[in-house]
Amino acid sequence: MEHTDHSTFQNPPAGALIWFIIGLELITFIAGIYFFVSYRISHLQEFKEMQTHLNLKFAIMNTLFLVTIVYFFAMSLIFLR
């Protein structure tokens, strides 16, 4: 009979709390996307009307700004190690 080592299940990599948080984030984002899509399907005309009010240039600049911040933050963490 083969012995199975269950220590990895009792002590997961990086600790149990981080996996709990990752699980909660997955559940939260999946629920948010589900409700967003279901609301959009049921109120399609309102979504189409509000899309005309969006500022595409600002949205692109904001996204690039946020991605740049995350990149430099990640690089600073690598540099500090």
Q: What is the pLDDT of residues 59-78, one digit of tens each?
A: 999 999 999 999 999 999 99
Q: How many CB atoms lie within 10 A of CB 12?
A: 13
pLDDT band of 36, cuts 50, 70, 90: very high
Helices (H) and strands (E) in the chain, counts: 4, 0
Q: What is the pLDDT of residue 2?
A: 67
Q: Are 47 and 40 in contact (CB under 8 A)?
A: yes
Can you give the pTM of this predicted structure?
A: 0.57
**pLDDT (mean) for 21-28:** 96
Helix H or strand E segment including 17: helix 16-42
Q: What is the pLDDT of residue 74?
A: 94
Q: What is the pLDDT of residue 19?
A: 86
**pLDDT (mean) for 12-16:** 77
**pLDDT (mean) for 38-57:** 94
